[in-house]
Amino acid sequence: MGNVVVITGGSSGIGKSAAALFARNAYAVYELSRTGKNENGVTHITADITRPDELRAAFAEIFRQTRRLDVLVNNAGMGISGAIEFTDEVQARRIFDVNFFGTFLCCKEALPYLRQTPGARIINLSSVAAPLSIPFQAFYSATKAAVNALTLALANELRPFGIRVCAVMPGDTHTGFTAAREKSESGEALYGEAVRRAVSAMEKDELSGMSPDQVAGVLLRAARKKRPKVLYTVGSKYKFFVTIAKILPVNLCNRLVGKLYS
């Protein structure tokens, strides 16, 4: 059997584009999600990434069928928006459970199999919202910043085993993620129209954003590259923003981001 890739959240958006692209490039593709189906050379396995027992069973079954695991793409995620002060604690914990702990659990359950495959790698989906924290999308930015931190640490921990780890940070991408975002306008009496304006600006950028196929292409290149970078930014203008953020004083950079969404 050829190289085997597991993609979480592969039933829609970036994950679906990535699954199709890997399949066209002769990978055996398994996608893990709560809903999905076998199609276009992609094998679906039902699993909730927040449930360790479901992930454990899924990875064990994939390895039973293939006897190898070359690439894990941690793509599954969710978004919420709203003022920090008025964000429900349950909602805040839920986004960390999916975006951060889901990534952690997938790594944890996949590593015994990845370690048995020479040249294996883990690719985590992050976001430009990690280095550039977005107002009224604080928890999404925080989860992606945590994914970056996890990626950097894991890259060093797994280097002795020959397992490469990286994170891909797309900019605004046109997918169903925009419509699926859980939005809250609570606190409007205090914040006025600020929440609505910020979210509207963000969604306008997403709806006119890059194709998920562009992000999928970067995922495939990261999977194939002998020595991938630890962090990839997708989109030329976003590469510029991330570079500028490294150069400018933090206070100035943060104020500029605030103005973009005001």
Query: Does the annotation count 11 as an active-site position?
Result: yes
1 — pLDDT class (breaks 50, 70, 90): low
Catalytic-residue membership of 126: yes
Closest to 8 in 3D by CA, of 90, 80, 92, 104: 104
| Distance of alpha carbon 114 from alpha carbon 186, whole angstroms | 44
Domain residues for the domain of 124 are: 4-260
Query: 130: which residues sit within 8 A by CB, 6+ positions away?
Result: 141, 144, 145, 147, 148, 169
Domains held by the chain: number: 1
pLDDT in tens, 129-152: 999 999 999 999 999 999 999 999
Q: Which CATH number is 190's domain given?
A: 3.40.50.720
The predicted-structure confidence for 36-89, as pLDDT tens digits, reads as follows: 789 989 999 999 999 999 999 999 999 999 999 999 999 999 999 999 999 999
Identify the CA nearest to 221 among candidates 25, 13, 10.
Answer: 25
From the list 27, 113, 140, 191, the catalytic residue is 140
Structure-derived torsion over alpha carbons of residues 225, 231, 236, 242, reported in degrees to the nearest 10: -160
pLDDT value at 180 more than 90: no
Determine contact, residues 123/222, Cβ cutoff 8 Å.
Answer: yes
| 35-51 tens-digit pLDDT | 878 998 999 999 999 99
140 in active site: yes
17 noted as active-site residue = no
Q: Residue 204 corresponds to which tokens in the numbers above?
A: 């306008």
Among residues 12, 33, 126, 141, the one annotated as catalytic is: 126
Selected catalytic residue, list 144, 191, 232, 238: 144
